[in-house]
Structure formats: C-alpha cells, structure tokens
C-alpha cells in the first residue's frame, strides 16, 4: 500500500529486465481482483495492507483455487521472520525483507519464485495423474478377478455334469458296458480331471496375481501332513514303476500353514517328480529342521529323473514356463504349477529352490518358518506376493 515501496520495486525490477509489465494495487481487494483478471507471472505482496493482512490474501487465494495459483513473494519489514515462516507454510514461494532489498536480490527472488512455483505445480499435476492411474489399475484388478471367477464357474458347471455322467456309465448304472467302452470312458474321465486341474490352476494363478488369494493358517505337524500326501501318490508311483520314499527327522517343531495350500505345493512337486522319472527310478521326500537366525522346516523332493538343463533352470518357476526337450513335445499341463507353488511358499514367508543335473535328476526344496517352541503361531509375513 505504500507508494514509495511500490515505486522501489518497479525501479529495481526495471533494472533487471526491460520488458516487465507492472500491475499495481493499493489494497488487498484490488490486488485480488487484478490477480484474477490479469493473471500475473509473479506477485510481490506486502505484509500489511489497509484492508487485510498479506497472509489473509494468500489464504483467500488458497480457499478459492485449492492451491496458490501464482508465485508470490512476501515483502516483510524488520524482524518479521515469524510471520514470514507462516506465509511460507501458507504457500508463498519466498519472502524478502524490504530493508536492504536491491535490484539483484529482488530480481533473483522473482526468478527463483517462478521456478519453484512451476516445479510445485508440475509435481502436483503428476501426483494427480498417478492417483488416477492407481485407481484405474485397482478397478482393472477387480474386473479381472471377477472375470476369472465367472469363467471358472461357467467352465466347472458343464464339467461337473460331464464328469458325473461318465462315472455313472463306468459304474454300469445305465447298463453294462464292454471293455472297449470302459477304456474310452476312462480316457474321457482323465481328460475331465485334467480340465478340472487346469481350471483350478487358472483361478489360483489369477488370485495370486491380483493379490486376492488368502491363506487360512493353522498350527500343524508338517511331517504328518506330508506323510499323508506322499501316501496318496503311492498308486501313481507304482504305476510309473517309481520307488517312493519318505524320511523325517525326529521332534520337529510345528508349522503355521494353510494345510490345503501346502498340500497343493507338495502334490505339485511330487506329481512332477513321478512324471519325469522313468521306470525303475526313485523319488525321495524328506522333512527336516533347518537351523538359523529363525528356525525353518525344510521339505525336499528329490528324483532320479531326467533332470533340468542349466539354461532352463533359472526359468523353472516362471509362469507358463514348461520344460521341453528336443525329442519330446510339451508334457501337458499349463506350466502354472511351479509358479503357483513358488507364490504359495513365499506367501507363507518361505523360499523354494531347485538343484538339478541333466540326465541324473532334480531336487526341489522349500523351507518355511517353524513355530518357535512355546509359541502358538507366527505373525503373518505378507499380504500378497505381488
């Protein structure tokens, strides 16, 4: 509001550059009106105006625009640093004491204020864009989950009837069948089983990908569980001429796991081991304690099968990756099993790894945290693996 101060600013900035246009105001209200109207590149604002405090003007702008719309430099008198700091907090770009102000200090202040303001505006803009992107991605995630749930349901429904009718026929409940009919029906039955497995795998993989798979954990005796799983593979091992062996250490601590999911992991590893081991070979499963900074339970499935080459080894847990060899075609399966197993183990706070020698065999090992003695359960480690 002081004429002398206004003219001083004009004079100083006139020295710095000669194509600056100056818009002058005497009161806060006049200043606001001109600001809205003329949209200046920078505002020099006095601390005290006849009709309001300088800081009030800033606050009014923020209320109106949601943010400070132009760079503002507050001109202060002696010893007003406290107010100046308040002004900075309110959104002012800089403050400059009128005492000792000269062309160069004012010129620099104006330039810095403009740069600071444009950086701030850019950051705000980016943040808004990112938030929009995140919100869209979340929506997309939910859409994908819903789609796969529907898909899974729609596929399982006809599969249910198909499976059951084949079973009814095989049981002779619709009339006796001859050997060839039985054989054909068995093949259909196996195809149906595979379809069911694939659909379940797709749903699991999707849930893991979208972070929607949750574990239901309980304190269990892991070795007992694995013993049971191994037993269920007895027939299939016998069919393949593979010797199946199970070893366990004594007095193992309990594990806090989702029984169904760990069964899924062990079943996946066992099924692979048996599948890739020729007649006369052996698959050994062992459960032991791994001591360390935190004790873990280690489970390994070792086979004397065809092994995995060094090139393929690093990719073995990738989604949709399948081991192929020159002389044989893809062995069936969606290639999701190991990727799902890895995700499930990691969701439990564990680790999975593989060692293999081509032509000799492979050993898949996973380790999960053990429940320390005297405690009931472990705190959950992760919400999701992605």
Binding site for other proteins (CB under 8 A): 149, 152-153, 156-165, 167-168, 173-174, 192, 196, 200, 203, 214, 216
User: At closest approach, how far in Å is the CB of 216 from other proteins?
Assistant: 6
- Residue pair 97/76 in contact by the 8 Å Cβ criterion: yes
- Residue pair 363/300 in contact by the 8 Å Cβ criterion: yes
User: At closest approach, how far in Å is the CB of 272 from other proteins?
Assistant: 23
Residue closer to other proteins (CB basis): 214 or 309: 214
Residue closer to other proteins (CB basis): 95 or 148: 148
- Looking at residue 277, the DSSP 8-state letter turns out to be S
Residue at token pair 């093949």: 187
Residue closer to other proteins (CB basis): 4 or 173: 173
Dihedral (CA of 105, 107, 109, 112) sign: negative
Residue closer to other proteins (CB basis): 136 or 160: 160
User: At closest approach, how far in Å is the CB of 90 from other proteins?
Assistant: 49
User: At closest approach, how far in Å is the CB of 160 from other proteins?
Assistant: 4
Report the alpha-carbon distance of residue 226 to residue 365 in Å, rounded. Answer: 13
- Residue pair 197/331 in contact by the 8 Å Cβ criterion: no
Residue closer to other proteins (CB basis): 165 or 184: 165
User: At closest approach, how far in Å is the CB of 153 from other proteins?
Assistant: 5
User: At closest approach, how far in Å is the CB of 375 from other proteins?
Assistant: 25
Report the alpha-carbon distance of residue 275 to residue 237 in Å, rounded. Answer: 9
Residue closer to other proteins (CB basis): 6 or 149: 149
User: At closest approach, how far in Å is the CB of 204 from other proteins?
Assistant: 9
- 289-294, Cβ contacts within 8 angstroms, sequence gap of 24 or more: 289/249, 289/252, 289/253, 289/370, 290/367, 294/369, 294/370, 294/372
Residue closer to other proteins (CB basis): 120 or 156: 156
CA angle 265, 267, 269 (to 5 degrees): 70
Query: Euclidean distance between the first and final Cα of the chain, in Å?
Result: 59
């Amino acid at each position: 509001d002081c004429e002398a101060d206004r003219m001083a600013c004009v004079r100083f900035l006139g020295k710095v550059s000669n194509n600056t246009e100056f818009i002058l105001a005497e009161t806060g209200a006049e200043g606001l009106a001109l600001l809205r109207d003329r949209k200046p590149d920078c505002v020099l604002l006095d601390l005290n105006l006849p009709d309001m405090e300088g800081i009030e003007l800033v606050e009014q702008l923020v209320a109106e625009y949601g943010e400070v719309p132009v760079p503002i430099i507050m001109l202060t008198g002696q010893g007003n640093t406290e107010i100046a700091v308040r002004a900075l907090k309110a959104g002012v770009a800089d403050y400059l004491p009128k005492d000792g102000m000269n062309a160069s200090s004012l010129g620099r202040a104006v330039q810095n204020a403009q740069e600071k303001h444009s950086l701030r505006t850019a950051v705000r803009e980016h943040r808004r864009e990112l938030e929009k992107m995140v919100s869209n991605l979340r929506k997309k995630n939910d859409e994908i989950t819903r789609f796969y749930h529907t898909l899974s349901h729609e596929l399982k429904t006809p599969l249910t009837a198909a499976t059951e009718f084949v079973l009814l026929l095989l049981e002779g409940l619709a009339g006796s069948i001859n050997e060839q009919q039985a054989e054909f029906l068995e093949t259909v039955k196996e195809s149906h089983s595979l379809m069911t497995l694939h659909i379940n795998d797709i749903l699991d993989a999707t849930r893991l990908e979208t972070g929607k798979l949750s574990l239901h954990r309980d304190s269990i005796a892991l070795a007992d569980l694995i013993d049971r799983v191994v037993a269920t593979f007895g027939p299939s091992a016998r069919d393949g001429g593979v010797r199946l062996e199970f070893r366990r250490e004594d007095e193992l601590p309990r594990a806090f796991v989702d029984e169904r999911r760990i069964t899924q992991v062990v079943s996946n590893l066992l099924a692979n081991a048996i599948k890739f081991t020729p007649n006369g070979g052996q698959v050994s499963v062992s459960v032991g304690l791994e001591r360390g900074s935190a004790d873990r339970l280690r489970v390994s499935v070792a086979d004397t099968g065809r092994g995995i080459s060094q090139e393929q080894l690093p990719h073995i847990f990738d989604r949709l990756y399948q081991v192929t060899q020159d002389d044989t075609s893809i062995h069936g399966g969606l290639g999701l099993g190991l990727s799902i197993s890895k995700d499930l183990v990691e969701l439990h706070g564990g680790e999975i790894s593989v060692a293999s020698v081509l032509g000799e065999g492979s050993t898949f090992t996973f380790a999960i945290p053990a429940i320390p003695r005297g405690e009931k359960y472990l705190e959950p480690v992760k919400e999701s693996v992605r």
